[in-house]
Amino acid sequence: MSPRCAKALAGTGAAVTALLLAGCGEGARAPAVRTADHVANVTTIASRTASRRASPPPLPLSGRVITVDPGHNGGNFTHPQEIARPVYDGNGYKECDTTGTAAPDGYRETDFNWSVALDLRRLLRAAGARVVMTRHSNTGVGPCITERAAIGNRTHSNAAISIHADGGPPGGSGFAVLVPAPIPSGIDQSIIVPSRRLGEAMRTALLGIGLHTSTYDGVDGIAPRTDLGGLNLSRVPKVLVEVEAPMERAAYRERVAGALLQGLERFLGRR
Ligand code: ZN
């Protein structure tokens, strides 16, 4: 081998291959060097093909079922008798449903609840969850609190959330997350601990968008309740979020929905 060829053969694979093709080869060496480059190329192509074919990572809430329960309904206002009929709430009797509150300017709680629920449904679907709504418009009546709980149960939801806005007393402010507490009737008590965990996840998320805990309800933003059929009758982890004004601002409602998504993801171990 000439000195020029010997020096070149100590160089890079590409340079070596070029010189081998130019006549510097010693028979058996040329195929060996070509083979090394060839293997490298094949490996590169194979890995590129594999990365093209690899399935995308699962979405954060893939396979999860979430019941979204927008409180009240727009038609409740015009059907007072229908929604006032008593139903068993698991710990006593209560109205089937109520109209909900309204802001001083007339903006209704049911409109807020519906808007946040639609935003949350969109976000949950984008995160891969299957969303079950307890009502499908904002102009209907009900359903009763019993049915709202039953929908979450029938669908074996991983979590259920009722969305409300609270009127609150004069001078009061802040959000509260209502969670189920033990009741003597013994209806599924196993959801109490996970519901509390869900409530705490919601509190963290709502604090994260700058809201503060209620000055008049619960302790540190968590309010255990035994009088709410929607919670008493649930057999899946469930909380009821009472958010505060300003309900009328769409951007605020979207922020609330984003916080509820974060709370659900945190509860389900994806954050
Ligand atoms: Zn309400």
Q: Which residue has the higher pLDDT, 221 or 16?
A: 221
Q: Would you say residue 30 has pLDDT above 50?
A: no
Is 59 within the bounds of a domain? Answer: no
Q: Which amino acid appears at position 129 of this protein?
A: A
Q: Would you say residue 50 has pLDDT above 60?
A: no
- Whether 30 and 152 share a structural domain: no
Give 225 Cα–ligand 1 centroid separation in angstroms. Answer: 14
Q: What are phi and psi of 108, to 5 degrees?
A: -90, 145
Q: What average pLDDT does the segment 216-239 reach?
A: 97
Which pLDDT tens digit goes with each residue over 88-139? 999 999 999 999 999 888 999 999 999 999 999 999 999 999 999 999 999 9
| Alpha-carbon distance values, 115 to 76, 136, 140 (Å) | 17, 12, 15
Distance CA 41, CA 38 (A): 5
**In sequence order, what DSSP letters do the residues of 104-171 get, joined into one string?**
TTS-BHHHHHHHHHHHHHHHHHHTT-EEEES-S-SSS----HHHHHHHHHHTT-SEEEEEEE----TT
Give 240 Cα–ligand 1 centroid separation in angstroms. Answer: 9
Give the position of tokens 């229908």: 82
Q: Would you say residue 157 has pLDDT above 90?
A: yes
Give 97 Cα–ligand 1 centroid separation in angstroms. Answer: 9
- Whether 14 and 105 share a structural domain: no
Distance of CA 199 to the CA centre of its chain: 14
Is 42 within the bounds of a domain? Answer: yes
- Is 26 catalytic? The answer is no
Q: Is 43 exposed, middle or buried (0-12, 13-18, 19+ CB in 10 A)?
A: exposed
Q: Would you say residue 33 has pLDDT above 80?
A: no
- Whether 80 and 114 share a structural domain: yes
Q: Which residue has the higher pLDDT, 62 or 33?
A: 62
Global pTM? 0.79
Q: For residue 248, what pLDDT band results from cuts at 50, 70 and 90?
A: confident
What is the number of domains present in the chain?
2
- Whether 20 and 117 share a structural domain: no
Q: Would you say residue 224 has pLDDT above 60?
A: yes
Give the position of tokens 């609840």: 113
Is 60 within the bounds of a domain? Answer: no
Give 128 Cα–ligand 1 centroid separation in angstroms. Answer: 28
- Whether 236 and 260 share a structural domain: yes
Show the domain range for 10: 3-54
Give 262 Cα–ligand 1 centroid separation in angstroms. Answer: 22
- Whether 31 and 95 share a structural domain: no
Which pLDDT tens digit goes with each residue over 166-222? 878 888 999 999 999 999 876 788 999 999 999 999 999 999 999 999 999 999 999
Last residue of a domain, which of 54, 74, 95?
Answer: 54
Distance CA 236, CA 218 (A): 22
Q: Which one of 109, 242, 244, 265 is the catalytic residue?
A: 242
Q: What is the dihedral of CA 195, 197, 199, 203, to 10 degrees?
A: 180
Distance CA 144, CA 193 (A): 25
Q: Would you say residue 251 has pLDDT above 50?
A: yes
Q: For the chain, what is the total number of helices (H) and then of strands (E)?
A: 9, 8
Give the CATH number for residue 224: 3.40.630.40
